[in-house]
Amino acid sequence: MFCVLGTLEASINGRLVLPRKSRQFAVLALLLLDVNKPVSSKRLVEAVWNGCPPTTAAEQIQTCVWRLRRSFARIGAQDGLIETTASGYALHLREDWVDTSMFDRHVSEAEIARTNGDNQAAISGFRQALRLFRGPVLAEVNSMIVQAAAATWEKRRLAVLEECIELELASGVAAGLVPELTVLVDENPLRERLRCQLMLALSADDRRAEALAAYREGRGLTVAKLGLEPGPRLQEVQRMILAGSPTSSAAAPLPQPPPVRPPGQLPADVTDFVGRSGYVAEVLGLLNVDVRGGVRICALLGRCGAGKTALAVHIAHQLRSRFPDGQLYADLGGSQRAHATVDDVLRGFLHALGYPDSWIPAARHERAAMYRSVLAERRVLVVLDDVADAAQVQQLLPGGPDAAVLVTSRTSVTELPGVSPVEVGVLPEGEAVELFTRIVGTDRCHAEPVSRNQIIRAAGYLPLSVRSAGARLAARPYLSLARFADRLRDPERRLDELAHGGLDVRDSLAPSVRRLPAEARNLWWRLSLLQGRDFPAWVAAVVGDVAPLLAEKLLDFLVDRRLVDVVGVDPAGMPRYRVDELFGLYARKRAQEELPESARARVLSRTAQCSAVGGTTMTKYLDLYEVYATDDEPAELVDESEDDQ
């Protein structure tokens, strides 16, 4: 008999299997949790070493399995209990040898009996299944993967127990359930269905005052710990008790959302994803660390086309086992002209969690409160892609500390409390070459390595542009890399050549630029005419025809939106700025369309004067131009888009 639902126990023919080392315990536990299914060696390594494996990890897993097989053989087990599969191992056991399989069978039989209207048989089956739990599941196994699976089993135990108690309440045995429910509510104070059942049992036993006291206690906890009101089920039971309505489950059944599988909304991982190992390790470390009293939040920040979404999805797939209650994903379109509303995202998330429209409140604050309540005790990963600002993220944070949030944004969201920002840059040369080669083909790239490198440099090592250049060449096997590199040398046609289908840096940039305040957009056009040279803030004031304080504020705004880079500081400690070369090509084209010829000529003239004067101090600027007659702090800058958050 192999027992998982409590302390790990394994015996064959009445003789115990006693793994001698904790590594073998972890391997056996994971094989039992996925009994009769293949478990990959990678997953076993993760379970044993919690993300920090030694170089010999694979060999040590083989040794663990060999020792387990030897232990089984010593007590008379048949050969082949542990099978070597293509990717790892599988433990093959009969259903009646494993308590988890027996639990599944009893629950299935109970659900069939309930469907057929035989509630007593259903109650008996549920209770038989629940008696298989002998205590906390695998508490002695020090493995994050095993503990995540154990937490899922504990949630399942509670869900089955709630179903059983629901039937028992309907059968008229409410008074006998009060002691058990009192203990369960003390152990799970935020689990509202159990509290509802306790209130129903107390009320059916003519203990209305105690039932209402249980409600007040629950409300106080949810307000204090989660900052929200009780859910609709708990409020409905309270109203029924206050009104003196029948409160047995038979007379007033509480509606339940349909059972659903944990949501798995992540987009597919990118098959040709390359590199980024430093970012991956950093984010995994941030989201794997328990933060007491708050949800874990990590924000991938970077310019348009930097590959933030692909990186976030890649990391999220690696985190799936750590969040067994599901993964939620939403593209908020923060860089687009018409981005998703928080109301729509909340509705979509609640749908994915099993709640129909009839359950979802119309008011945003009530909808957000329900969302937080649902996730209060769940281990869920929430991926919010392309968010507009921190306020948008704030309204979509889960309600409990067991969840984590991964954000991508082109803007800084560092004002979000508790966020860990990670700045995502362009690809290192080696990773850019690897990505380009995977798309174009090894033979073509190795035949023209010089041209390959010229193309990648022209693409600015930006993942979006490297991918679009590669896709364009892959679609044209007759085009030599040298010929394509020659086309990219012409600035007037480079952006056209670096576009293929939906892979176009201009299409990605345009919505973000449209949302800029007019003053920031006008300054960006003008700065692009500096042809990629770096400059101090006083030069921006000169070419932008704006006051010094406003120039600095506009530059900060553009830096926050990754449209201008800070490339260093001058000897006086003042920052120097630059417009990225590819972005500058787009901006100069737009400047020709948006700025009058006289304004463009004035920018070029003033740029020449600044170069002639030299230096980086504001004194040079004041010598050239009269002081702007303002000492006022510039007004706040607001994106020029309707605020539907």
Band the pLDDT of 313: cuts 50, 70, 90.
very high
Greater confidence (244 vs 394) lies with: 394
Q: Is residue 607 part of a domain?
A: yes
Q: Tens digits of per-residue pLDDT, 568-598?
A: 888 878 889 898 888 888 888 888 888 778 7
Q: 122: buried, middle or exposed (CB in 10 Å: 19+, 13-18, 0-12)?
A: buried
Mean pLDDT (whole number) for 132-140: 89
Q: What is the pLDDT of residue 641?
A: 47
Assign residue 536 the CATH number of its domain.
1.10.10.10
* Alpha-carbon 420 to chain mean position: 13
Q: What is the pLDDT of residue 541?
A: 86
Mean pLDDT (whole number) for 606-632: 50
Q: Tens digits of per-residue pLDDT, 74-93?
A: 877 777 788 888 888 988 88
Q: What is the pLDDT of residue 19?
A: 65
Pairing status of strand 404-409 against strand 296-301: parallel
Band the pLDDT of 629: cuts 50, 70, 90.
very low
- Pick the last residue of a domain from 479, 506, 533: 506
Domain with 450, as residue range(s), is: 429-506
Q: Which residue type does 105 have?
A: R
- Pick the last residue of a domain from 423, 443, 461: 423
**Cα(546)–Cα(533) distance, rounded to whole angstroms?**
20
- How much is the mean pLDDT over the chain? 83
Residue 487 CB neighbour total at 10 angstroms: 15
Q: What is the pLDDT of residue 533?
A: 83
Q: 597: buried, middle or exposed (CB in 10 Å: 19+, 13-18, 0-12)?
A: exposed
Q: How many residues does the chain have?
A: 645
Going by the DSSP 8-state scheme, the letter that residue 136 receives in this structure is S
Band the pLDDT of 513: cuts 50, 70, 90.
confident
Q: Is residue 89 part of a domain?
A: no
Shared-domain flag, residues 331 and 458: no
- Say whether pLDDT at 538 is over 60: yes
Q: Is residue 321 part of a domain?
A: yes
Shared-domain flag, residues 459 and 597: no
**Cα(51)–Cα(43) distance, rounded to whole angstroms?**
10
C-alpha dist (Å) from residue 65 to 24, 36, 73, 307, 474: 7, 15, 12, 40, 45
Q: Is residue 40 part of a domain?
A: no
- Say whether pLDDT at 44 is over 80: yes
Q: Is residue 360 part of a domain?
A: yes
Assign residue 356 the CATH number of its domain.
3.40.50.300
- Pick the last residue of a domain from 423, 441, 472: 423
Shared-domain flag, residues 558 and 583: yes
- Helix residue spans in 491-562 (DSSP H): 491-497, 505-514, 518-528, 537-544, 548-560
Average the pLDDT over each of 264-268, 514-518, 598-602, 628-632 and give the range with the smallest value: 628-632
Residues 6+ apart with CB under 8 A from 3: 9, 10, 99, 134
Per the listing, tokens 């409410």 go with 174
Average the pLDDT over each of 109-123, 218-232, 285-299, 621-635 and give the range with the smallest value: 621-635
Q: What is the pLDDT of residue 358?
A: 66
What's the number of domains the chain is made of? Answer: 3
C-alpha dist (Å) from residue 420 to 52, 284, 334: 21, 12, 19
Q: What is the pLDDT of residue 363?
A: 76
Q: Tens digits of per-residue pLDDT, 210-266?
A: 989 999 999 988 888 877 788 888 888 888 888 776 554 433 444 455 455 788 889
Q: What is the pLDDT of residue 314?
A: 92
